[in-house]
Amino acid sequence: MRRAFGLRRPRRAAVAVALSSLAWLATTLAPPTPASGAASTTTSTTTTSPPVPTSTSSSTTTTVPTAPLSLSCRAPATSATTTATGTSATSGTSGTRGTSGTSGTSGTSGTSGTSGTAASTSSLGAPEQPATTTTSSTLALPPSTLAAGTSGTSGTSGTATTTTIPGAGGVLFGYYLVESNGSVVNDGSAAAFTITKKMVPLVVAGAVVPGDTGYWLLTSRGNLYNFGSAIDYGSPLRTHHLGTYVGIATTPDGKGFLVATTKGSVEHYGDAPFCGSPVHAKLDGHVAGIVDTPDGNGYWVYTSGGQVFAYGDAHGYGGGVGPAHSPVIGMAATPDGHGYWLAYNDGAVRQFGDAPFFGSAAHHRLRSPIAAFAANSQGTGYWLIEADGTMFQYGNAPFYGSLVHHPPKPPVRIAAILATAIVEQPSPPSTSSTSSTTTTTTLPPLPPLTGDPFAHGAIGYDISNFQCQKPGSSLAQAKLPVVSGIAVLQVAGWLDNSKNSCLSAEVSWAERAGAGTRGLSLYIFMNSPDNSTSATAQDAAGPAGACALLANTAQPACRAYNYGYNGARNAYSYATTEGARSSLWWLDVEGAALASGDFSNFSAGQYWSANSVLNADTIQGAIDALRAEGITVGIYSTSEQYAKITGNYVPRGSRVPLWVAGVPWTSPPYGEKGLPSTAALTAWCAGTAHYANSTASDLFAGGVPWLLQETPGVLPSPDGIDPDYAC
């Protein structure tokens, strides 16, 4: 994740935008006051009054009005476009990336609500009588629940670089996190843009240019700022608008946009059509946002009370307040426009029309209200984000980072999440195309391992986030070994919240040091789940099921397996985005000081529970997740610690490679006199050696040694890191 304080460095976004505004912001802002010296703009703000919503028998649903298709909607008036404004910011080239935020947590699944009454539009454009439809409450399990991790500062770059891994469907996903003070953080494939003009807070919403080449930010006063390729089509500043501004939606071609106010006014710019507004309707609460239809010939306006007004070719499929009568804070449409989701500030998500349900944070203990919501462009997942930057993702919505460890300082809060998706054209492996802002490379799939990849007798080192220049930094320490025939790099230092922030830089070091593809492998520091927010979010649902729906006796094993599986999937996703690829991954299983119950206790240095069966379930879950990606999975431990943690568990499937820790020091790699040569390691590679004061062999997990680690003891480690020897 890279942070850009919007005034210094914006970001870009892309296709099929889903955005949301803060409900709390719209209800607390003072009436807008035009900024002095700003150029006036001329906009067409004619409105059409749809039918006033009619209450239904349900306390949580409403009848949704659909407005007739007007001539101005069919052929947007060019007079609505203004060409100059004194409030837009000048975009520049991408520059140095700022300090990144860190990860948040995935959310627990909730159940869907009952849809409201639907309204449709006839071929003549006149509203038909609403017909009541009901959606059953079902729980759809996401294919994977990706957990958050810690990322750090990014390096400097003149252009944004993204990588497509085969199997990703040729789509590069990303998102921007927009704060109310104008700060913007770009994640995943979302690009960076430099800003040269100061913004006027408070920013309430944003919209991206299709293709992820720019974006607009909207303030409560009506200031509009454009970045990258986003064109200045005008600004509502100084117009006689009603209410404060809360939402913006762009047309599919990126050549226009619509803005909405809390009182229902809708204004259009560029090629965006005006199809009506609820400015004269009786509103339940205040207007909270606006969402365009996929073809740009209509839009929905939604209120904090759950009303959804449909205009143009948009159809109403229902609405209503949340299960706890909480206000709506966001809405997103499905790719075909035949459905949508409403998100509420207590974490609930309700689906309407053909929108599928992937889960919600309704039963999650939130640290702050949900502030923003977005769906991915394929309609296969969505994100929720709290006002403090904690992220929840569901379905196939990938996790690229959050602000949970670097939250906005109150009164600044998250204002919007802008989803991006760049559709890449097929290209042969190992070819690249370069533009002024983005370099995209399609990488061939990694070949599966057919045996031990390491050259016998090779010596190298393993490094982790402790070899970053400082905590959270994207830069590796300068004094790493010049030569390393083996390089084992840490991806995650805890399964649900600690990513190696300088992983990309450490990959570059491994390449310079000569490890090559054959000598490079990756590892995850393993642990059992605890009762933290991030852990419970990560283990709630997965291949083992939705744990809360199982019998009480089955829930611990369900949580343990899901935690390992989802954590490994998350680590794999993070490594891919950082350019770290290997056909061999290790699971670091260590720490024989066990917690007293079924959960770990990080603060006490107890990484594993006292239940060896549950610990084994977590390890097996991680193995299964990585094997599903075609990866060979090995285990790092000692025979003594592994036995205590897992009860000598032998993983299912093929025999696992072993990375044996705590073997004797030799010369090389150590330079002290009196040490034996590496020939002393032969017995350890053969599995016939044993530790001091122990009769057990060095083997564990039914595996075979591939690597040995000469763990530092009384002797200083070369270069201050752990040396490794290849069997």
Which residues of the chain register pLDDT less than 70? Answer: 1-72, 74-173, 186-201, 212, 237-241, 322-323, 400-401, 404-405, 421-445, 712-718
On whether both 408 and 465 belong to a single domain, the answer is no
Distances 174 to 154, 444, 511 between C-alpha atoms, Å: 16, 22, 27
Task: Please name the amino acid found at residue 497.
Answer: N
Same domain, 413 and 464: no
Is 59 among the domain residues? Answer: yes
* Structural domain contains residue 688: yes
**The CATH number of the domain where 249 resides is what?**
2.130.10
Q: How many domains does the chain have?
A: 2
Residues 408 and 556 both lie in one domain: no
- Domain presence at residue 141: no
Range of the domain at 57: 1-95+107-134+164-420
pLDDT the model gives residue 210? 81
Cβ contact 19:207 at 8 Å: yes
Q: Can you give the pLDDT at residue 230?
A: 81
Edge to edge, the sheet with strand 381-386 lists 370-375, 381-386, 391-395
Please report the pLDDT score of residue 647 as a whole number.
95
Query: Considering 420, 451, 483, which residue would you say is the last residue of a domain?
Result: 420
Residue 177 inside a domain? The answer is yes
pLDDT for residue 51: 33
pLDDT of residue 347: 92
Instruction: Tell me the pLDDT tens digit for each residue of 458-516.
Output: 999 999 999 999 989 999 998 899 999 999 999 999 888 789 999 999 999 999 999 98
How wide is the angle at C-alpha 90 spanned by C-alphas 227 and 20, nearest 5°? Answer: 30
Same domain as 488, residue 350: no
388 occurs within a structural domain: yes
Find out whether 724 and 461 touch, Cβ atoms under 8 Å: yes
Report cis status (omega within 30 of 0) of the bond before 252. Answer: no
Cβ(671)–Cβ(719) below 8 Å: no
Both 403 and 464 in one domain: the answer is no
pLDDT at 115: 33
713 C-beta neighbours (distance < 10 Å), count: 10
Same domain, 61 and 119: yes
pLDDT of residue 290: 97
604 & 695 share domain: yes
> Hunting for tokens 């699944």 — which residue is that?
109
**Does 617 lie in the same domain as 554?**
yes
Residues facing residue 177 across a β-bridge: 185, 417
- Cβ-count burial of 123 within 10 angstroms (0-12 exposed, 13-18 middle, 19+ buried)? exposed
Residue ending a domain, among 420, 439, 471, is 420
Q: Does 512 share its domain with 409?
A: no
Torsion over CA: 596, 599, 600, 601 (sign): negative
Residue 453 located in a structural domain = no
Provide the H-helix boundaries in 405-532. Answer: 503-513, 516-519
Q: Which residues contact 410 (CB under 8 A, 6 or more apart)?
A: none
For residues 351 and 497, membership in a common domain is answered with no
The span from the CA of 338 to the CA of 356, in Å, is 11
> CATH no. for residue 706?
3.20.20.80
Residue whose C-alpha is closest to residue 383's, from 20, 6, 26, 7: 20
Residue type for 638, please? T
Residue 490, C-beta contacts closer than 8 angstroms, at least 6 positions apart? 462, 463, 464, 465, 500, 503, 522, 523, 524, 525, 588
pLDDT score, position 186: 67
